[in-house]
């Protein structure tokens, strides 16, 4: 994923797509006609999809880019099942419980934001410290470096462990 010079923040997904196709063609070239479709799809979901989706939930992605990622998966199913019928492709995706990238990104984003909100609301040691940090930063005088280090260490310990 690369940032592209533009009036607004825009990213290019060409490198992610190349990596996905490289991984898929490697898998399909080695075991394409030997293994069952279920095995190939399991390998794709564990090895190729993470390459495609790596870091995408943190950047703003346009709907056209999400559609192009879904198109890649649809083409993969067309190649795997030797069909051009999109209805059959959607049926195969449903039967194999294979989610499109737009669904996976939405799940990742919801999971991350929900986890942070749960931590923020229910973590017993975090709420009083957060209140103290808010009141310290609201005052005109800034906290000392020792207080900052202590607060940062406490937040890191309580957030990530």
Break the chain into its structural domains and give their ranges.
Answer: 2-111, 123-160
Does residue 135 carry a pLDDT above 70? Answer: no
The answer to whether residue 124 scores a pLDDT higher than 80 is: no
Q: Tell me the pLDDT band of 157, cut-offs 50, 70 and 90.
A: low
Q: What is the reported pLDDT for 159?
A: 47
- Which has more confidence, 151 or 66? 66
Q: Which residue has the higher pLDDT, 115 or 136?
A: 115
Interior/surface letters 74-113, b for 16+ CB within 10 angstroms, e for the rest: eebbbebeeeeeeeebeebbeeeebbbbbebbeeeeeeee
Computed from CA positions of residues 54, 55, 57, 63, in that sequence, does the dihedral angle turn out positive or negative? Answer: negative
pLDDT of residue 133: 47
Give the pLDDT mean for 14-36.
89
Q: Is the pLDDT score of 114 beyond 80?
A: no
Neighbours of 34 (CB within 10 A): 8
Judge residue 7's burial from the number of C-beta atoms within 10 Å of its C-beta, 0-12 exposed, 13-18 middle, 19 or more buried: exposed
Q: Is the pLDDT of residue 97 over 80?
A: yes
pLDDT score of 138 more than 60: no
37-90 tens-digit pLDDT: 999 999 999 999 999 888 777 777 788 888 999 999 999 999 999 999 999 999
- The most confident of 6-15, 50-59, 127-136, 143-152, by mean pLDDT: 50-59
Most confident of 82-91, 111-120, 130-139: 82-91
Let me know: does 94 contact 74? Beta carbons within 8 Å: no
Rounded to the nearest 10°, the torsion over CA 116, 121, 122, 125 is 90
Which of 18-27, 116-125, 144-153 bottoms out in mean pLDDT, i.e. has the lowest?
116-125
Residue 138 exposed, middle or buried by CB count within 10 Å (0-12, 13-18, 19+): exposed
């Amino acid at each position: 994923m690369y940032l592209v010079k533009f009036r607004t923040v825009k990213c290019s997904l060409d490198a992610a797509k190349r990596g996905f196709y490289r991984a898929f063609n490697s898998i399909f070239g080695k075991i394409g006609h030997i293994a069952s479709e279920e095995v190939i799809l399991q390998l794709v979901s564990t090895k190729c999809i993470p390459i495609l989706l790596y870091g995408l939930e943190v950047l703003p992605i346009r709907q056209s880019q999400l559609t192009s990622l879904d198109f890649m998966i649809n083409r993969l199913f067309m190649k795997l099942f030797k069909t051009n019928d999109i209805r059959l492709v959607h049926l195969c995706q449903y039967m194999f419980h294979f989610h499109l990238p737009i669904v996976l990104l939405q799940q990742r984003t919801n999971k991350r934001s929900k986890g942070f909100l749960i931590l923020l609301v229910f973590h017993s040691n975090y709420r009083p410290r957060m209140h103290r940090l808010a009141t310290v930063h609201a005052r005109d005088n800034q906290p000392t470096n020792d207080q900052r280090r202590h607060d940062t260490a406490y937040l890191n310990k309580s957030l990530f462990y």
